[in-house]
Amino acid sequence: GVGLAHLAQGASAQEALEPNAWEEITSYNNYYEFGTGKDDPVRYAHALTTEPWSVRIDGLVDNPGDYDFKDIMSEMTVEERIYRFRCVEAWSMVIPWNGFELADLLNMAGVQEGAKYVAFETALVPDEMPGVRYPVLDWPYREGLRLDEAMHPLTMIATGIYGRPIPNQNGAPLRLVVPWKYGFKSIKSIVRITVTDVEPPTSWNMANPREYGFYSNVNPNVDHPRWSQASERKIGGGLFAKRVPTLMFNGYEKEVAGLYEGMDLTKFY
Amino acid sequence: MQRVNQTLRQLPVWVVYLLGALPAPWLFYQGLTGGLGVDPIEALEHRYGELALQLLIAVLAISPLRRFIGVNLLKFRRALGVLTFAYVSLHLLVWLVLDVQVPSQIWADIVKRPYITVGMVAFVLMIPLVVTSNNLSVRKLGSRWRNLQRLVFPAAILGGLHYVMLAKGFQVEPLIYLSLIIGLLLLRVPFPRLLTRLRRADSA
């Protein structure tokens, strides 16, 4: 944890990050299990039962099993990280997350030799999720990271915002946060984490591989086929908000560029 | 049905213009004062676009309503058509001025992004319609006016397609709009006449 807090500070030192208001962070969400409108999650996500909650950790780990959320929390050290959040739709926020490093959780389970990727799965509760009646995506929502991305000190599991428990619409009770990737990589309400040796299928990539790659790193030089990624609209600026340039790796280039050395980022988008 | 039509005849067209125009400033005011949520630019852009599509569907419904149900709304068709164009223009303006902002990127987007190309073509197709939406043009163009106004058919399909193309994932709402548009256009195809013609050609 110590090295990580330091890194996160390094990233934020380039520019003092002014977090968005609680109201903005918790009323404007993409969580398609509750509907495709930005205000659907805040309207419907309260129905999701988040207590009790357990996460199945399996695959190439020493201690596979169902981990109770409370037991996980008793093992982890929660800290605050103020990160930029850049949606693939070209809007952005700054969010003060509370949580722990994913690496700490993976180390608790014991990553085995030969592991290369980590796969994640969101809860699928049709009775509590009105959006999954429609085949917007192939449910349940799935995401994945390369193991080195997952173990990176910036990668965290968030369980709170502004020191309060994370609201359902933001992915309660625990979600991934990978600040240098487009927001959809930061999968919500995780029920399963699988350590594996093959690249796992991921929801948006399955739905449209031309538009959403496995990596989906924030990159102002690689456009989405349907819109430019060169700039973004910061939420909170009102009707006349000026667009601002999007930063390479969302401003975390110094910390993460090394992960992709020698890779053609226009091919591995 | 006659009573419905009689009541409708008493309703002045300016009422339709007024009611149809009201949402434009109201939504803008809402956007300024927080009523459209924390991303008012996207919300305003989408609301104007949806209103344009809804008005367009109303325009397309008028002739089938008269033919199949007997409700006569012909008197209001021009007003609804002009309002449609107004909302398409507002939708485009919000996109240009508030959303994209960078003039150099606007042209690039129109050329490079198919859903924007499709939307722009629909807008361009509607320009001659609104320009000739006056009595003088109707008189001067004669039967050509009717043919010209048929441009609304491709414009409507492209407008519905524009919405379907911009959706992320498989979404139902844009498909409902497009199906309504296609359905209303299909109601205009003279199937019985086509059938007789085909049969005649067969026996000949």
- pLDDT at residue A3 in the model: 47
pLDDT in tens, A160-190: 999 999 999 999 999 999 999 999 999 999 9
Q: Pick from A36, A38, A230: which is nearest to B39 by CB? A: A38
Domain count, chain A: 1
Q: How far apart are the first and last CA of chain B?
A: 43
Q: For residue B130, give the nearest of B184, B89, B74 by alpha carbon.
A: B89
Which tens digits make up the pLDDT trace of B35-93?
999 999 999 999 999 999 999 999 999 999 999 999 999 999 999 999 999 999 999 99
Beta carbons of B98 and A36 less than 8 Å apart: no
ipTM of the complex: 0.83
Query: What residues of chain B lie within 8 A of the CB of A239, using their CB?
Result: 28, 31-32, 40-41, 44, 98
**Per-residue buried b or exposed e for B99-121, using 16+ beta carbons within 10 Å of the residue's own CB:** bbbeeebbeebeeebebbbbbbb
Local structure of residue A48 (DSSP, 8 states): S
The CA distance from B20 to B83, in Å, is 7
Task: Answer yes or no: is A265 within a domain.
Answer: no
Give the pLDDT confidence score for residue B107 in this predicted structure.
84
Residue A201, pLDDT > 50, answer yes
CATH code: domain of residue A6: 3.90.420.10
User: Range of A81's domain?
Assistant: 2-259
Residue indicated by tokens 């009201």: B22
Can you say whether the dihedral through the CA atoms of B189, B192, B198, B201 is positive or negative?
A: negative
pTM to 2 decimals? 0.89
- Lowest mean per-residue pLDDT among B1-5, B62-66, B172-176: B1-5
Residue B103: pLDDT band (50, 70, 90) is confident
- Contact check, Cβ <8 Å, A136/B113: no
CB contact under 8 A, B170 and A207: yes
Tokens of B166: 């911009």
Q: Looking at the domain assignment, is residue A267 inside a domain? A: no
Q: Which H or E element spans position B176?
A: helix B172-186
Is position A266 within any domain? no
Residue A187 placed within a domain: yes
pLDDT in tens, B185-194: 999 988 878 7
